[in-house]
Each structure stands twice: as C-alpha cells, then as structure tokens.
Amino acid sequence: MEIKRWLLIAIVAVFSHTANAVLKIDITEGIEGATPIAVVPFKVDVRTGLKTDIAAIVSSDLARSGMFSPVAETDMIARPTSPVEVDYKTWRIAGVDHLVIGEVKSTGKDQYKVEFRLFNVYRGEQVLGYSFNSSRTHIRTTAHQISDLIFEKLTGLPGAFNSRIAYITSQRTKGKPIEYKLQVADTDGYNPQTLLTSKEPIMSPVWSPDGSKVAYVSFESGLSAIFSHDIRTGSREKIASFKGINSSPAWSPDGKKMAMTLSKDGNPDIYIMTLDNKKLRRMTSHWAIDTEAAWMPDSQSIVFTSSRSGKPQIYSLSLNSGARPKRLTFDGKYNANASVSADGKVITFVHGGNNSYRIATMDLENRSMQILTQGPLDESPDFAPNGTMIMFASVDKGKAVLAAVSTDGRHKHRLALSDGEVREPSWAAIRY
C-alpha cells in the first residue's frame, strides 16, 4: 500500500511464487478511433534460421501505445514483401491507413540485414524506409527500433518501445525465506535480467538518466541502504547507509547528483548528494515527514511528498532560491509519490481517499488534475520517457501486477507474471 511507502515503514508485501519469467501483456482498454495499420510478416531468408517474428513484435508495440490498431495477421487481405507488390486500392478498401513490409537477409552466422518500409495507403506512397544490421541476440531490439521509427513518423513523438523497465518481484517457497529480486526487462516484458537476489526486502528502483545504472534501497544488512548497480558491468556501489532511514533515491537529470530521504539528523528529510565526492546538502528541515523527491528537468527544483499540512501532499522546492516549499496538490486528503514528465509540464502521482488509491496527473501550469485509473490500490507511477504512457503498480484479482495507462486515460494494459507477482516499476530512458 502506498501509504506505507511514503511513511518509510520497511514493510514490503509478501508475493508468491515469482519466477524469472517474461511479463505477459494484456491490453485491457483500447482507444476508439485508433489508427488502423497492417504490419505484414517480414520475408525471411531461410538461411537465417531466424524464428523471431519481427512483424508480430512491431504490431504488439504499436498496439500497446493505444494510438494504433494493428490488423490481425489472419485478417490480412494480402502479404506483400516488396513495394511492387503493394496494391494501395485493396488496402484502402480494407480500411487500412498505413502498411508496413519488411525483409530479413543473412549476412553471416547469426548476422542479419533487416529492412522495412512504411507506406501511407491513402496517399499511395512510401513515407519511411530503413535498414539495420542486427544479430540473433539483438533482433528484438531491432524490432523495437522499427516500432520507434514508425511511431515517431506517424505521431511526431519519439517512440519509447526500445527502452527498459526495472521492477521488484518476490518468491516464496514453502519452508524457505522469501526471496526478493530486482529485475530489468524490455518494456514488453521480454529479456528479463536479475540484478540482485536477496532474502531481505528490495525497494524503490530508479534508473540513471543514461539508462546504465539502477539505484535502489536494500535491507540485506538488516538496515536500509541505497545502492547503485551498473547494468553493463554488474558492479554495484553503496551510496548511503547512514543511521536510520535511507530511502527514495532519485538521480538528477545530469546523473551527477542524487536526491534521497535520510533520517540521520532526526526526522526524515530530503538531502541531495553530489555523487563524485559524496557531499551531502540538506534541502528540508521540518518536524513532518519529507520524502519521495523527483527532479524537474532543469535540475534546479524538485517535487516531493510531505505531511507538513497534516496529510501527505505534493510540494515543490527551488534548490537555490532559499524559498520555502510550495504546496502543489489540494484536491483530496492523500497525494504522494510524484513523477515528472520529461518536459516538466506534468506530474503524475498517487491520489487517495476512502481507502482507494488511484493514479492521477496534474498540469503544472493550470493546476488541473485528472484521475486516470480506477484503483483501488494503484501506486508507484512513472512516466514513459516520451511522456505518452504512465506505468504503475496495481492489484488485479488480488494479485500484484504492473499496469500502464495513456496520459489521457483512454488506453490501458497490464503486465503480469503467470506464476507470481510484481511491483514498483521504473521506466528507463530510450536506448539509441
């Protein structure tokens, strides 16, 4: 429950039977009027021996965005693999706006050349074409890159399919202690990688701006400590292990500093650490609980959760002006755990009341708030790097799952483990 998290109580829900498995996506609510698009199965050179269906991955990516309605393979009226085979009139009659075709050629052992073309059916012309050198190991990455290019061409927004998420799972085996895992995976749940396994709770994963590291809170010593884990090398560094609470790490946009919640001087307050020399700067000093800092894109201010008004609310703080924190949320008795969009114009947070916790957004310019989910236990929201989706932790039929909602609330999908539970998502930057 989110209220436990902001109060910094070291209580982690007990999950059951989680394996290092792929997260399964289930689209629960689509958008009426989503753009019809057909991604035809790619022509594959038999010499490749490739089993991965690139077209299926691209279709799934575009469907997850909520902005596109891919044609099912079984409903395709034709399967062109070259421009000369494209009959625009036929596809127009079928109601398809855009068409994608592609080809995979062998260039060596487990090495491929992947080409795709995007056509505007109603204009009767190719609008995008690209060629990739790929390998068997990176073929899914290539597929996500294709999805990103198509998405950006048709929406004007960068795609976020070729990025990763971090999350926490737990496994309980009869007669044995609970086993917690910090994992990272592609945004569609594939290629899961375990960074840390522990008999003690792991909490609050957060990505560095360049996507090379994940910071988190671990209780492996029996007390809370903040660590940074390098994805590429597997090495990790202890960032903070002061007396009392060490919680809620948050990288600055330039990756040189980290905001965190510490209670080493009394009450939980917000501190900022310069990472190269571990120098600390205390940013709040109040009898209330101040926690869950999130950086604004300019690195000059933060938003955070505070109980200084009596109940958890979101505040902003300019780091260098000497001004007092400014309260942002007033609607409802509980608003906490804010995340900031990449452009700094919108925050998402947990909005609670009457034992229901839902995901909401607020436009920082006009302070208008929109509730996006139904609850009752939605928490830990985090923006996609392109700002079009928000991933969060939820409960479905009594089971902890990850979920995502478009920023207009019209499209929703769920990511769940078939044999376990998962929570606390963090969305990394786009990989280039």
Supply the CATH number for residue 190's domain. 2.120.10.30
Looking at the fold, whether 337 and 222 belong to one and the same domain comes out as yes
Looking at the fold, whether 80 and 185 belong to one and the same domain comes out as no
The residue out of 138, 155, 172 marking a domain boundary is 155
Are the CB atoms for 265 and 275 separated by under 8 Å?
A: no
As a whole number of angstroms, the distance between CA 349 and CA 293 comes to: 12
Looking at the fold, whether 106 and 226 belong to one and the same domain comes out as no
206 in a structural domain: yes
Looking at the fold, whether 211 and 343 belong to one and the same domain comes out as yes
CATH number (domain holding residue 124): 3.40.50.10070
Looking at the fold, whether 71 and 207 belong to one and the same domain comes out as no
Is there a cis peptide before residue 376, judged by omega within 30 degrees of 0? yes
pLDDT, tens digit, for every residue of 399-415?
889 999 999 999 999 88
- Burial code of 137-172, b = ≥16 C-beta within 10 A, e = fewer? eebbbbbbbbbbbbbeebeeebbbbbbbbbbbbbbb
The residue out of 120, 155, 190 marking a domain boundary is 155
27 in a structural domain: no
pLDDT, tens digit, for every residue of 136-166?
999 999 999 999 999 999 999 999 999 999 9
As a whole number of angstroms, the distance between CA 286 and CA 307 comes to: 10
Are the CB atoms for 427 and 385 separated by under 8 Å?
A: yes
281 in a structural domain: yes
As a whole number of angstroms, the distance between CA 297 and CA 342 comes to: 7
26 in a structural domain: no
Looking at the fold, whether 256 and 127 belong to one and the same domain comes out as no
Looking at the fold, whether 178 and 144 belong to one and the same domain comes out as no
For the chain, list residues with pLDDT below 50.
1-19
As a whole number of angstroms, the distance between CA 292 and CA 414 comes to: 25
98 in a structural domain: yes
Please report the pLDDT score of residue 214 as a whole number: 97
Tell me how long the chain is. Answer: 432
Please report the pLDDT score of residue 17 as a whole number: 35
What total number of domains does the chain contain?
2
363 in a structural domain: yes
Please report the pLDDT score of residue 354 as a whole number: 82
Dihedral class, residue 137 (left if φ above 0, else alpha if ψ from -120 to 50, else beta): alpha
Please report the pLDDT score of residue 371 as a whole number: 96
Domain that holds residue 260: 2-21+163-427
As a whole number of angstroms, the distance between CA 130 and CA 34 comes to: 24
Looking at the fold, whether 170 and 150 belong to one and the same domain comes out as no
Looking at the fold, whether 204 and 293 belong to one and the same domain comes out as yes
Looking at the fold, whether 151 and 246 belong to one and the same domain comes out as no
* Torsion angles phi and psi, residue 91, rounded to 5: -70, -35
The CA angle 188-191-156, to the nearest 5 degrees, is 40
115 in a structural domain: yes
Please report the pLDDT score of residue 131 as a whole number: 97
Looking at the fold, whether 95 and 169 belong to one and the same domain comes out as no
Please report the pLDDT score of residue 11 as a whole number: 31
200 in a structural domain: yes
The residue out of 155, 174, 209 marking a domain boundary is 155
Looking at the fold, whether 150 and 169 belong to one and the same domain comes out as no
Whole-prediction pTM: 0.91
As a whole number of angstroms, the distance between CA 374 and CA 390 comes to: 14
Please report the pLDDT score of residue 31 as a whole number: 66
